[in-house]
Structure 1
Amino acid sequence: MAEFREWLWAHRNYFLIVLIPLLALPLPLVINTSEAKGGYAIILMALYWCTECIPPPAAAHLTALTDPILPPPQVCMHYLKDINMLFVGGLLVAVAVESCNLHKRIALRVLLLVGVRPALLLIGFMSVTAFLSMWISNTATTSMMLPIAHAVVKQLSDTEEQADARELGQAGRDNQALELSELREGKQAKAAQGKVETCSVEDGESEAERRRKAREEKYKSLSKGLSLCVCYSASIGGTATLTGTTPNLILKGQLDSLFPGNKDVINFASWFAFAFPNMLMMLVCAWLWLQCMYLGFNLRKSLGCGLQNARDHEAYQVMRNEYRKLGAMTYAEANVLALFSLLVALWFTREPGFMPGWASLLFNKGNQTYVTDSTVAILVALLLFALPSQIIRSPLESRKEGGKVKAPPGLLTWQVVHERMPWNIILLLGGGFALAHGSEKSSLSLWLGNSLTPLQNIPPFGISVLLCLLVATFTECSSNVATTTLFLPILASMAISIKIHPLYVMLPCTISASLAFMLPVATAPNAIAFSYGNLKVIDMAKAGFMLNIIGVFTINLALNTWGAAMFGLNEFPSWANATMTGP
């Protein structure tokens, strides 16, 4: 029986692939409405995504087969939209930053500035990880930062161990000199001194053991705190920019698809203006919570000031040596940094909102937008392929070196892109957009939204908090891509039904989908931190539960203060009233 259960578990994916569509099949056959057929398509993809019985990118193609209303040519158009190109362009720049090690130089430079005091280490690692996660994937950021964090902790522990050994050794030598002087006083004194020696040795052993246990406990807590601060800040940092994490792009894509007349209410600049201050609040709260859990709340002791002793100096040297290994900034790094800065500047100034941007001044004709955030991203990505990674030398200089003359490669090569580009996310995005469009055309999202109209008896703030808690709980067991893809069309329809601004529920729930803090399987950064072996599931659950609550309330605080002023959330927009009325 045990062997059969083991065999059944090992082959579970094949059974799920067959059973899921068969068990859900009565829904479209018995009810036989467009809403039921749309529900069948959503259930099929949602369960395939959640169980991962087939790879999620492969499951994203199901919409092309199961859409109940639209023919495949119209469905397939949603697999590569403007928002997908924005994602591709942003990822190409991120790949270039990673390939030239620019992100590691930035990380070590900041850590050298903050120092190695425990609380400062938490601040340093969290701020660096969050900043890098705004631009490159949270998985790559976590993979880079965790080894640095654990190397610093190990050096701090080894340095303290050596210092304790020196102190105990010095104490032993002092006791030995005292004993030699007392031996001259006779046999009686010698016997008495023998007893003292035994006690002294026992005391010395107990003191060494006591210090060892205290040191291990101290650095075990610090190691846990640093592991959690890195993986949590990677998730938090991704919420600050439109391209920082996939759910943000899903919101932008679905908003443009469901509400075509929204007048680009969400772009890179407007998202950053709303989400970056919220990210800072969440980061500070996470730091205080992890500080209390693993270092105690004695900030004066934890922060200290500067390098106070030799132990700190030796640990500081670890980071300094890592930084020195990078050498001087190369020509390629300088160019990638310049192009990255250009990309950010163009994104911010394209349509800043409070004034006309360069896109509307130079490239708008009538009401037609010819330049979007994706245009900027692709332009900078093409420059990465076009510009050389080294200074091009004259023919005379090339001949002096001997050998075959070769032109330097570009700042980014297609081989590097092929190895590091997460193409699967592009398919996931496309499948999600196609699924959302099918849900809209089949009126399923409208029916689900209307079924939630009893929520109109609750104040909007309460609705937002409840939905955020629901999404934050759901995302612990499912990918944030699946969570936002499934929830956003329903939330949009619900907002229309109860006459509140769609962004009032869609925006906070999108950010809440990144609050996957409680379980190692919830997100890739959590799994990477857990793989180092110093964390237990209960450690992550205890720390993550409170952070989920804190995150939900900081998001809703931001939503009802500067978010309401920025997006006009207190009024029902005209562009929402003109759409989502069903087929």
Structure 2
Amino acid sequence: MKFSSALKFNAVSEWWEEYIDYDNLKKYIYQLEKQQQNLTSSYHDLESSERASLVGRPADIATDTIFIPLLDKELTKITLFYENQEKELFEELQELEALVLTQEELGLEGDHYADDDEYDEDDDDSISRSPERQRRRRLSSSATHNRNMSVGGDSYAPGASRHRYSISSSEGEDVPTSPVSPHGTMRRLANTFSRMRDSVTMKDSVTSSVLFPDTIWTARTNYAYDTRLLFKRRITNLFISFTSLRSYVEVNYSGFRKILKKYDKVTYSELKDHYIHDIVEQSAPFRNDAKDRLNHAVDQLVDIYTKCVSRGNRSMAKQQLKLHQREKIAWERDTVWRQMIGRERRGEGGVPNTLGASLVRESEPGMFAIPSPFGRIPFTRKALYLIIALVVFVVLLNVKIVDGGEANRCLAILVFSTLLWASEAIPLFVTSILVPLLLVFLQVIRGPEPQNEHLSAPDATKLIFSSMFSPTIMLLIGGFTISSALSKTSIDRILITRVLSMAGTRPSMVLLAFMGVSCFASMWISNVAAPTLCFTLIRPILRTLPPHTSFAPALILGIALAANIGGQSSPISSPQNLIAIQHMDVPLDWGKWFAVALPVSAISILLIWALLLASYRPARSPDGESALEIRPIRPTREPFTLEQYWVSFVCLVTIGLWCVAHSIEDYVGDMGVIAIIPIIAFFSTGILKKDDFEQFAWTIVFLAMGGIALGKGVTSSGLLDILGDLIRKLVEGFSLYAIVLILSPIVLVVSTFISHTIASVLLVPIAKAVAVNPGDQNLLIFVTALICSTGMGMPVSGFPNQTAATQEDDLGKLYLSNVDFLKNGIPASVIATLVVSTVGYLLMRAIGL
């Protein structure tokens, strides 16, 4: 949770305006960042020797002189509010202590509800009574009201203001403790509760007098009970007020620390330690003596509660007071923040949803209606795609396309799943889960050769499910574990910022550095998380760029394209690679994969970088009169911790074992077994928690499982053999390299318009069937997997492109348009495909494929 959200979630709602204005200070920081960049750029006319000593410090000094007064203003506001609240609360505490002593002196003498008749006289007479007499009347009046609020005496009305139940000892002062009129109504209520108390037996009274001293805090009379109830509410409300003030101080201290850390990070200043230690911690709310006073006041209230309410049991007193505090916090969060956060997560606007609105939305894109005798039936495009897919499915089931009943039904399932995956009529992983259901229900699965007998439903179920959770899936989960550990311990951010800090300020080198980092990060933390991380890191650069510069779209598009290329660089960087390994007769180990994929990726990155430089020409500023200078990335200064060293060691060992998996398969069996190592190492040591495991991309896991199940069905039903014979006849007489050249554009076109993972699910079995010689199958599967990652010509082509297409500037304007993708994405896709089909092919032949 971001600190701005945490601040709102932990703040006392009535004091919201008195907290540090974190969001506004953050906006000032970004404005100062731009000012600092402009000030630094103003020294370009100086001689190099002079510029080296001046650049940086004037900008730092300028930003400090502007930001410190803003901090001082917030600190003054907080200090004044704290001092007022502290003074008021301590006055109430003193008044409460005095009232407790007075009540102890009165003892049980105030047990005279009949005296309420005196309130029937005029008010002036009541005012003229003695202060002691008035105090007793206020106690009686307030106690009666409190009994109306809680007869049991143990419940607490969360959120009630402490002033509502306050007791005044000043003579003649109006008492805001009860809305009940001090006349006949008061007397009737008192008599009602007196009758309720008559149920106490004489035996109870005798027992009470023997076991406990006959004091106001232990007696079982009506007056003693009501007095204790009154003091309980007064103490509880004051306790909550003191703890809220203590929380107010802690939250604001965290606010100053967080905002100064962000300021130092953005402006490259070193203000945080000085301002925190020399100014914030010397202010009234944050001094140690103030904290001690608050803690002492809380302890005093616990002591008073122990005496007045819990009959000397201090442990019970602390437990009950903390329970009331938790109820207060839970009530505020439920009523003030929970609904707001829930609506934000659901994406609801100002108008609440109704049942009809949740089923049919007038403004939903693609909505249209079909007239019918029952009225106009609304449909979305996805609903139409689903109907089309179902119609095609039913037709294929009833029309013989290929020989063999199992193969024909499997073809229907294959086409049906392809239509659903391509149109996303239902979520992709739901289609994957549907595949094993259809394979078993339609009796597609056959036994092994040579009998190839039809399997019963129980046997088919066992076969399908055993193939779905394969070593490949375990390898995918192991990759998720490594990715999560690298991200949670910030190793990815530390390494990336240190590499980027060496890129300098030239736009071309900064672009190449970010593309290289994006590609490398995609190898280990997936090409889903890597571009998101990189887009976060470039925010400081984008904020300081001149308006309408061409460097911004070039940088964003370069990161996205490089992340797609990174999807082919390692076996765990994308699901399509794992699906390819699953279909290989002899799966490639990591060493051979790297021998081909790394050179191919590096050459593709360099060529795409040259394409972006030629297309955008980002080295010039928008006015065309000067060279554009990029703000350098500042590396993190935190040293590696023991936890980070442990994560790095486990990751390197796991990757090393994956690289030599075939050499040690007699001991480990498969790479999926090696993938268990990081799971045990990180979850057993507490680096990763249960919540981290639940946040894995399980939709991708089930997507891969569905693809494996479909591949098993295509193979088992005999459909693969039929399609293989048909395709081999079409390419008969062609050399292996000619087949690669024919297959490459087909794979590129398909992967451009549908998910890369789905493209591999559909095309890898075809590539396996195309091979004329069985020995060529692994090569064609490898080529297909690599080219699936190069389909990046459209905004919808892969997650990196989708993320890049949503990036906006400060004014909400998108950095990229469809023209950017068509102009640069399509040529980049063609370049990367040619690299795979030429350099990649040669390297595959060199390693023995």
CA distance in 1, matches of 2:759, 2:542: 36
Alignment partner of 2:525 out of 133, 136, 153? 136
Structure 1 residues 217-255: Cα deviation after superposition (integer angstroms, max 9, x where no partner): 4x2x10111011100111111211111111110001122
Structure 1 residues 369-423: Cα deviation after superposition (integer angstroms, max 9, x where no partner): 6432222221122111223xxxxxxxxxxxxxxxxxxxxxx1111112213x101
Structure 1 residues 133-154: Cα deviation after superposition (integer angstroms, max 9, x where no partner): 0011212111111132242133
Work out whether residues 720 and 765 of structure 2, in 8 Å CA contact, stay in contact via their aligned partners in 1.
yes
Q: How far 1:445 sits from its partner (Å)?
A: 1.8
Structure 1 counterpart of 2:389: 20
Structure 1 residues 161-216: Cα deviation after superposition (integer angstroms, max 9, x where no partner): xxxxxxxxxxxxxxxxxxxxxxxxxxxxxxxxxxxxxxxxxxxxxxxxxxxxxxx4
2:367 aligned with 1:6? yes
CA distance in 1, matches of 2:535, 2:564: 14
Work out whether residues 479 and 572 of structure 2, in 8 Å CA contact, stay in contact via their aligned partners in 1.
yes
2:641 aligned with 1:330? yes
CA distance in 1, matches of 2:569, 2:649: 21
Alignment partner of 2:580 out of 231, 251, 255? 251
Structure 1 counterpart of 2:834: 553
Structure 2 counterpart of 1:239: 568
Structure 2 counterpart of 1:433: 708
3-state SS of paired residue (1:54) = coil
Identical positions, percent = 21
2:733 aligned with 1:467? no
CA distance in 2, matches of 1:30, 1:235: 40
Q: Equivalences for 1:76-225 in 2 at 5 Å?
A: 76-157=465-546, 216-217=547-548, 219=549, 221-225=550-554
CA distance in 2, matches of 1:428, 1:372: 22
2:430 aligned with 1:69? no
CA distance in 1, matches of 2:661, 2:734: 38
CA distance in 1, matches of 2:799, 2:413: 27
One-letter code of the match for 2:783? Answer: P
Q: How far 1:126 sits from its partner (Å)?
A: 0.7
CA distance in 2, matches of 1:492, 1:54: 29
Work out whether residues 541 and 631 of structure 2, in 8 Å CA contact, stay in contact via their aligned partners in 1.
yes
CA distance in 2, matches of 1:530, 1:560: 32
CA distance in 1, matches of 2:844, 2:436: 37
What TM-score results when the alignment is normalised by the length of structure 2? 0.50
2:655 aligned with 1:344? yes
2:793 aligned with 1:518? yes
One-letter code of the match for 2:765? Answer: P
Q: Which moved more, 1:3-12 or 1:421-430?
A: 3-12
Residues 18 and 454 from structure 1, CA distance in 2 versus in 1: closer, same or farther, beyond 3 angstroms? closer
Structure 2 counterpart of 1:378: 676
Work out whether residues 517 and 541 of structure 1, in 8 Å CA contact, stay in contact via their aligned partners in 2.
no
Alignment partner of 2:612 out of 279, 284, 290? 290
3-state SS of paired residue (2:847) = helix
Work out whether residues 519 and 540 of structure 1, in 8 Å CA contact, stay in contact via their aligned partners in 2.
yes
Structure 2 counterpart of 1:34: 406
Q: How far 1:348 sits from its partner (Å)?
A: 2.2
One-letter code of the match for 1:69? Answer: V
Structure 1 counterpart of 2:760: 484
Work out whether residues 519 and 541 of structure 1, in 8 Å CA contact, stay in contact via their aligned partners in 2.
yes
Residues 344 and 3 from structure 1, CA distance in 2 versus in 1: closer, same or farther, beyond 3 angstroms? closer
Structure 1 residues 482-532: Cα deviation after superposition (integer angstroms, max 9, x where no partner): 111111112212214x66611232211111111121111111110111101
Alignment partner of 2:430 out of 46, 52, 58? 58
Residues 108 and 431 from structure 1, CA distance in 2 versus in 1: closer, same or farther, beyond 3 angstroms? same
Structure 1 counterpart of 2:723: 448
3-state SS of paired residue (2:567) = helix
CA distance in 2, matches of 1:310, 1:564: 46
Larger helix proportion of the pair = 1
Structure 1 counterpart of 2:699: 424
Structure 1 residues 73-103: Cα deviation after superposition (integer angstroms, max 9, x where no partner): 3222222001100111111111111112211
Q: How far 1:3 sits from its partner (Å)?
A: 9.7
Structure 1 counterpart of 2:817: 536
Q: How far 1:550 sits from its partner (Å)?
A: 0.9
3-state SS of paired residue (2:793) = coil
CA distance in 1, matches of 2:540, 2:426: 38
Unaligned runs of 5+ in 2: 1-361, 370-377, 446-459, 808-813
Q: How far 1:124 sits from its partner (Å)?
A: 0.8
Work out whether residues 535 and 556 of structure 2, in 8 Å CA contact, stay in contact via their aligned partners in 1.
yes
Structure 2 counterpart of 1:226: 555
CA distance in 1, matches of 2:389, 2:542: 47
Tell me which of the two structures has the higher relative contact order, counting C-alpha pairs closer than 8 angstroms and 6 or more residues apart. 1
Aligned residues: 448
Alpha-carbon RMSD: 2.5
Work out whether residues 86 and 373 of structure 1, in 8 Å CA contact, stay in contact via their aligned partners in 2.
yes
Q: How far 1:552 sits from its partner (Å)?
A: 1.4
Q: How far 1:156 sits from its partner (Å)?
A: 4.1
Q: How far 1:42 sits from its partner (Å)?
A: 0.4
One-letter code of the match for 2:486? Answer: V
Runs of 4 or more above 4 Å deviation: 2-5, 309-312
Residues 371 and 35 from structure 1, CA distance in 2 versus in 1: closer, same or farther, beyond 3 angstroms? closer
Structure 1 counterpart of 2:595: 273
2:644 aligned with 1:315? no
One-letter code of the match for 1:37? Answer: R
Bigger radius of gyration: 2
One-letter code of the match for 2:678? Answer: V
CA distance in 2, matches of 1:62, 1:385: 32
Structure 1 residues 8-64: Cα deviation after superposition (integer angstroms, max 9, x where no partner): 485333343344223332222121733221110101111111111111111102222
